[in-house]
Amino acid sequence: MDNKQTSQIPNILLSVKDASAAISVSTKMVRLLIASGRLKAVNLGKRMTRISLQELTDFAQGQGCDVVLPSSFPPFNNEKREKKKPDVSAKPETGNVNKRAKCRMTPASDKAPEGVTHDSHYTLAEVMRKFGIKYGRFYEVRNRFQLPSVHAWGTTAFRKEDVEEAIAKYNEEQGKAQTEAFYTCFDIMQKYGLGKTQVRRFAETHGVRIKKAKGGRANLYLKADWEAARKKAEKTSASTKAKRS
């Protein structure tokens, strides 16, 4: 958005929930941004944190993302919008078109910089859909690998090669970190001679932290919790005491 458009933004306040929906991140992420000072907010009372639309828009522009406010959100629901018929005679040069701009302050456009096409670039929405990644996670990937972006078709777009390479590296890093910090059920069964049900019951009884593996089909058990619980259980185990005596 240019300066002229920015100056026309209504001076309204958004809740944390509305702000998170507007920039497609979790409410937790919004609170972290506020706590770190990256996003300014005001506290109007208990559970009354508010972010101005101007501040949210400025933050989004700085990150190269868009602000999306629902049509039902005041004061937009009281504005009469003139419906325009699409110009069927004009055909875009780059294939599929983003018919609706993600940011209401930015009109939808078929335009893209020279050399930017749907064959060479992903829009932000396409990245999230194709790779099954939420905005907050992609925001982390984008910052870590310094992905360049362009403004095209009324939204933010990224080179396909850059996105695919960055997400592959990120997934590889996450996999390695996961292997180092967690046991799979099979790892525990093989190392300690337990059955699958025994592993699950032991983890539940001793409060071992569990997370779902990628794809959500299996449990992963935090190694630090498992080892600490195992040592504690050995001290109180009747069989262990009998061996010592």
pLDDT tens-digit series, residues 71-92:
656 554 444 444 555 555 544 4
- Tokens at residue 207, please? 């409060």
pLDDT tens-digit series, residues 6-34:
445 556 888 888 888 888 888 888 888 88
In the chain, the number of structural domains is 2
Residue 81 lies in a domain: no
- Cα distance between residue 15 and residue 49, in whole Å: 6
Q: What is the per-residue pLDDT for 198?
A: 92
> Residue 234 corresponds to which amino acid?
E
3-class DSSP assignment, residue 155 = strand
Residue 150 lies in a domain: no
User: First vs last Cα of the chain: how many Å apart?
Assistant: 78
- Taking every pair of Cα atoms in the chain, the longest distance, rounded to a whole number of angstroms, is 92
Task: Name the residue range of residue 42's domain.
Answer: 3-73
Domain end among 55, 73, 91? 73
Residue 134 lies in a domain: no
Residue 16 lies in a domain: yes
Left, alpha or beta for 103 (phi > 0: left; psi -120 to 50: alpha)?
A: beta
Domain end among 16, 42, 73? 73
Domain end among 73, 96, 114? 73
pTM of the model: 0.36
Where would I find the H helices in the chain?
Answer: 3-7, 16-22, 27-35, 53-63, 124-131, 135-144, 160-181, 185-192, 196-206, 223-236, 238-244
Residue 201 lies in a domain: yes
For residue 36, what is the enclosing H or E element?
A: none
